[in-house]
Structure 1
Amino acid sequence: MDQSVFIMGAGQMGFVMAAAAVEAGAGRVVVWGPSRESMDELRSTRVSPRLPGWTIPDGVELTHDESVAGECTLLVNAVPTQHVREAWQRFASVNGSGDPDVPVVSTAKGLEIGSGLLPTVVIHEVLPDASLAVLSGPTIASELVRRQPAVVIAASGCPGLPTRVRKAFGTDWFRIYESEDLLGVELAGALKNVIALAAGVCDGLGLGFNAKSALLARGLSEMTRLGVAMGADQATFQGIAGVGDLATTCFSPDGRNRACGEAIARGCDLAEYVESQQCVVEGVPTLRSVLERSQTLDVDLPIMNAVGRVFLEGADPRSAIHDLMTRPSGHE
């Protein structure tokens, strides 16, 4: 069946999904942004300031009119987590409460401030009738728009929906595996951003590869513990959505959360740094929700708690690392 794809969000991942959909053979691909002025500019230049040197494919329509979504068969959530509710409320005001035959695929990675909800849960609150899926994994946008090979996971509890997502977006450079563990895949994408902040601190302090590799290994353990306590499948965290996404985010120079951690370790003011970025640093707003959830579930997260002391309380990074290194140790 010919897919017509509506992508909510004209940021980096929105255009990655658009490029993949065009190449996968979608009959129509539309990217939506909230500002008429910015979308008019994109239509004129066919260049996104967030993806310099890349041209938006001719087959991609650009709009600020959310009613166009009513003409499409597959919807994509590519807006940052903290804007998901507002964006889909705009959609719902025109298009209603969703259609189970027109699923929403979310690429957002984070937890909503205040509620602590994952993006698909937020979307479900706004669109209770929609079928939901997530697409997640190691996705550095600047690599993907150059068609460099990547592997991701499409996950949903709706039978057949991961296959539909794979067929809609899979290409010879964008390989998609399937999973039923929507919670685990989406949660892994959110939690790895917190560990990436810590990885950036390691880089900023020049602690070396031994320390950073240990951080990733122990950080993955914390992600897994919290995920399992919340009902996710442990195996999900050992795959592309977990260790794969974590490694990319923590080692890539383009990783937003890693770069933020590095800047803070070098003395930058957190609020000023976040304000200066064109792209959203999801790990910072996600952090507080993660720590609150871990307390509710009584899950021990020493690394994430140390990140919280640095990013939420202004603790000295070296002091936080010293506290981690001098904790009582035992079996791994």
Structure 2
Amino acid sequence: MNKAAVIGGGSWGSAIAMLLANNDYRVSLQDISKDLVTEINEERTNSNYLPEVRIPEGITATTDLKEAVKDAKVVVIVVPSHAIRRVAEELSGLLDDDTVIVSATKGIEEESCYRMSEVLKDELRAELHDNIVVLSGPSHAEEVSKELPTTVVIASSSRLLAEKVQDVFMSETFRVYTNPDIVGVELGGALKNIIAIAAGITDGLDYGDNTKAALITRGMAEIKRLGVALGADPMTFSGLSGIGDLVVTCASEHSRNRRLGFKIGQGKNLEQALNEMKMVAEGVRTAKAAYQLAKREEIDAPIIKQAYQVLFKDKSPRRAVNELMMRGKKHEIEEVVKNKDNW
């Protein structure tokens, strides 16, 4: 039986560990929390993150990173984005040259504005760079852990490697597609969290379904504009890591980013909302990075801009929505208009 290691014992890390265990992998789940490790090993539960499921016997939890990755053929990294650099630095000297590294964290590093695979390449030794793949898509951990049908995408510049990892994760309830566009897959998974915070804010303001539909649609237009400027294939944003992940994160009760936005829409400031959250809402840090990227690339991203100002500049959510509604007149699809000679 092959061994896999999952770094990060939160809800998504635990759900991935369960998936791999059910696919006949011997799984080592590493987390820095001694209490969590003890609970998983002794009680077979993860009460803080996945309270309604039982952890399979094929999973062994540990706080020791070296022990976790020893002999592992696949290492899945599922820690918060702000911890990726530290973890990658520690992993660099622990992994064999042929170890496959799966990045399953959806975020952008705040200081550098790097995607997660870029952070990994920054810290991992050169021999491991071609082994990095990205896993993304609409995949709430609560549903994956209960084996509800889920579909995701694996991105890699190597088709052979992507298909190898596809085989690792595929099951009767977890369908995996492949995509060569790492940039687009990562950006779709990261930027949708900002739009989900905005969607939660509109829910907190009780603005209704029309507002949310507009926000999702125009939010995707911003994600695509910024993504293409950064080197992504625009078609990627019509897929699972694009519109698929955006819709589920903006609409689902499981979405921590939508939940945080809802609290802000009801009148709480960012600090108060974060203090009430058990889990990390990646969209907060990503909003700051995306705002800087949009400025750097001179991309029109009004929703991202307003989300940034609400989160970090104490802007009133109602005022932010009003400013979005009262912007200058626009064509819906600029590219179409440019190609219409007599429109």
- Counterpart residue number, 2:166: 166
Instruction: Say which SS state the counterpart of residue 5 (structure 1) adopts.
Output: strand
Instruction: Say which SS state the counterpart of residue 160 (structure 1) adopts.
Output: helix
- Counterpart residue number, 2:118: 121
**Matches of 2:199 and 2:281 in 1, distance apart?**
14
> What runs of 5+ residues in structure 1 fail to find an aligned partner?
none
- Counterpart residue number, 1:9: 8
Q: Return the match for 2:106 from 93, 106, 109.
A: 109
Residue 248 of structure 2 aligns with an amino acid whose one-letter code is T
- Counterpart residue number, 1:239: 239
Residue 196 of structure 1 aligns with an amino acid whose one-letter code is A
Contact 2:91 2:124 in 1 (8 A): no
1:48-67 matches, cutoff 5 A? 48=46, 49-67=48-66
- Counterpart residue number, 1:267: 267
Deviations 1:110-148 (A, max 9, x none): 111211111111111111322100110001111111111
Contact 2:23 2:171 in 1 (8 A): yes
User: Once the 2 structures are TM-superposed, how far is the Cα of residue 271 of structure 1 from its aligned partner?
Assistant: 1.0
Contact 2:6 2:75 in 1 (8 A): yes
Deviations 1:251-281 (A, max 9, x none): 0011011111110010112112213322101
Does residue 144 of structure 2 align to residue 144 of structure 1? yes
Does residue 316 of structure 2 align to residue 316 of structure 1? yes
Contact 1:20 1:170 in 2 (8 A): no
Contact 1:109 1:190 in 2 (8 A): yes
Of residues 143-152 and 273-282 in structure 1, the stretch that sits farther from structure 2 once superposed is: 273-282
- Counterpart residue number, 2:200: 200
- Counterpart residue number, 1:24: 23
Contact 1:195 1:216 in 2 (8 A): yes
User: Once the 2 structures are TM-superposed, how far is the Cα of residue 304 of structure 1 from its aligned partner?
Assistant: 0.8
1:17-96 matches, cutoff 5 A? 17-26=16-25, 28-48=26-46, 49-68=48-67, 69-92=69-92, 95=94
- Counterpart residue number, 2:278: 278
RMSD: 1.3
- Counterpart residue number, 1:186: 186
**Matches of 1:117 and 1:154 in 2, distance apart?**
19
Residue 32 of structure 1 aligns with an amino acid whose one-letter code is Q
User: Once the 2 structures are TM-superposed, how far is the Cα of residue 312 of structure 1 from its aligned partner?
Assistant: 1.2
**Matches of 1:47 and 1:41 in 2, distance apart?**
6
Contact 2:75 2:101 in 1 (8 A): yes
Contact 1:132 1:158 in 2 (8 A): no
Residue 49 of structure 2 aligns with an amino acid whose one-letter code is R
Residue 327 of structure 1 aligns with an amino acid whose one-letter code is R
User: Once the 2 structures are TM-superposed, how far is the Cα of residue 70 of structure 1 from its aligned partner?
Assistant: 2.7
User: Once the 2 structures are TM-superposed, how far is the Cα of residue 307 of structure 1 from its aligned partner?
Assistant: 0.8
Instruction: Say which SS state the counterpart of residue 310 (structure 2) adopts.
Output: helix
User: Once the 2 structures are TM-superposed, how far is the Cα of residue 99 of structure 1 from its aligned partner?
Assistant: 4.1
Residue 124 of structure 1 aligns with an amino acid whose one-letter code is K
**Matches of 2:274 and 2:55 in 1, distance apart?**
27
**Matches of 1:5 and 1:189 in 2, distance apart?**
23
**Matches of 1:181 and 1:326 in 2, distance apart?**
35
Instruction: Say which SS state the counterpart of residue 244 (structure 1) adopts.
Output: helix
Deviations 1:145-168 (A, max 9, x none): 111111000011133111111111
Q: Scaled by the length of structure 1, what TM-score is found?
A: 0.95
Contact 2:260 2:277 in 1 (8 A): no
Task: Tell me the matched-pair count.
Answer: 327
Instruction: Say which SS state the counterpart of residue 34 (structure 1) adopts.
Output: coil
Instruction: Say which SS state the counterpart of residue 139 (structure 1) adopts.
Output: coil
Deviations 1:69-124 (A, max 9, x none): 131111101111111112222333x51xx444111101101111211111111111
Q: Percent identity between the aligned chains? A: 35
Contact 1:85 1:122 in 2 (8 A): yes
- Counterpart residue number, 1:258: 258
User: Once the 2 structures are TM-superposed, how far is the Cα of residue 284 of structure 1 from its aligned partner?
Assistant: 0.4
**Matches of 2:122 and 2:34 in 1, distance apart?**
27
- Counterpart residue number, 1:290: 290
Contact 1:76 1:107 in 2 (8 A): yes
Contact 1:204 1:266 in 2 (8 A): yes
Q: Scaled by the length of structure 2, what TM-score is found?
A: 0.92
